A and B are shown apart, each in its own frame.
Chain A
Amino acid sequence: MAATAELERTDSAAPRDATAAAVRLESVSKAFGGRRVLEDVSFAVAEGSGFVILGRSGTGKSVTLRHIIGLVRPDAGRVFVEEDEISALSGPDLSRVRRKVGFLFQSAALFDSISVGENVAFPMRRHTDLKEADIIASAQAKLASVGLEREFDKMPGDLSGGMRKRAGLARALALDPRILLVDEPSAGLDPITADEIDDLLLGLKRRGGVTLVVVTHNMPSARKLGDRLLMLHEGRILAEGTPAEMDGSDNEIVRAFMASQHSG
């Protein structure tokens, strides 16, 4: 049975020094209402790299991502963001670590009661001492960087799916995070728009040195963004390695997944 496939790890590009990892999960397990979602999941993401978590729907990819920003706490195991064990933090300490991490939600999750510009300005208003004029200028610059300079005053409901995603990306980047978590960047988008989002993310990694942790089941997107890929299957790690290593995997499910060209 595929679900019981042996854990396969290739370590050629794995960070040698655990302290240099931007994100690290150690034996994380999680269950919801008796249903086990993650089982003994461990991995490390090197600083400035692109790390893609693959897997079919319902295999625990998004839950893994939520552990990294402390939206979900593990039943067992530990989660580190840089040197901080985020899974053990709460209150102001948790907030401090969260400020280092941006999160682009699958649905973009823009606050729909305020304008697009205010969405981007929101984290700056909350966590910086910038003057109002500087906040507005910075929010405009962030929107311009994702090609939405003219949408500042629009409401989120007036944007298309791709524009919402880009606005969500601008908000996730508002505090210039060192780590960016991205949940299904291509979901619900046409291939061209999805490709544009991928290019934006790639630019952040290459030019900004941002560490990307991306959840997707879209292989073209995974190949583009991922220096290393990790495949989850029924809450367990099935394989981890570079795209080339994953292509040559002995596991039938991994090979089938890597060969797929599904997008969106």
Chain B
Amino acid sequence: MASLTEAAPAPAGADRPRRSFRSGALTALLLAPASLWYLLLLVAPLGIIVLFSFGERGKNGGYAGGFTLDNYAGALERNGPFVTSLLMAFGGTILCLLLALPLAYFIATRGGSKKSLLIVLLVVPFWTSFLIRTYAWLTILGPEGIAGFIGDATGNPSFRILGTPFAILLGVVYGYLPLMIFPIYVTMERMDRTLMEASKDLGAGRWATFRQITLPITLPGLITGSILVFIPLMGEYVVPAILGYSRVFLIGNQLVLQFLEARDWPQGAAKAVVLILIMLVSIIFYIWFSNRGRKVREVSVL
């Protein structure tokens, strides 16, 4: 069955070895460009980063060979940017969840004939340049915008929003919110609505129905959304650079500083490796969490 549909149909007799050789060659040909790309532009650069992370800094910057663990010790010692990034990423993810959940619920259950329009209206901001959407807040939050207004109202002319962690949190939530809404909406949209009806018929209130029916069913969507938001948040560079005036330091900005300005490649490389490890661990945790949730649900259904 599989060979019939996926590879060439198995021909009979002596023809076969030649055919399968040709089919193998075709497979290799199809995969060659992407594999080459991965090896040359993903494996090699990341390999170099790992290699450099154990090396020493050259006199004029760059990399000068050697083997040391000092860079990792340094990365763990001065862990300020990591902590800020993690806090920002978790806070941002939770805020996105809180904003996305009622919205997705509304579109999925009350959208009616306007559903497609509402979804298109979500795609448009997602499709527009992240840079532009971020710098737009400079005008809105700036001294001639909200900050100036609040400053005048409270008689505190030095009141600022830009350059504070709040501005960055706002920027990242704004930037990545659509990524949270899409997967939650899709799982809610696919949900069997009769379960909610049944729950209501059995006398459950709104909140009980939401907590016991809607929320568990949409859990996979919530987790996908959280991963999609968490990944870019953790390595964010643009938002703190623009809205934070580089005063609030996230790990992305730290990396750039270390690589380009201090030209301390080994230190930067060690931090990059730690960042990748944090990403891997968090995502594996998210996936483990979602699988566990699924198992619990299956058991409870049985």
Task: Note whether A and B form a binding pair.
Answer: no
**A interface residues, Cβ below 8 angstroms from B:** none
B residues whose Cβ falls under 8 Å from a Cβ of A? none
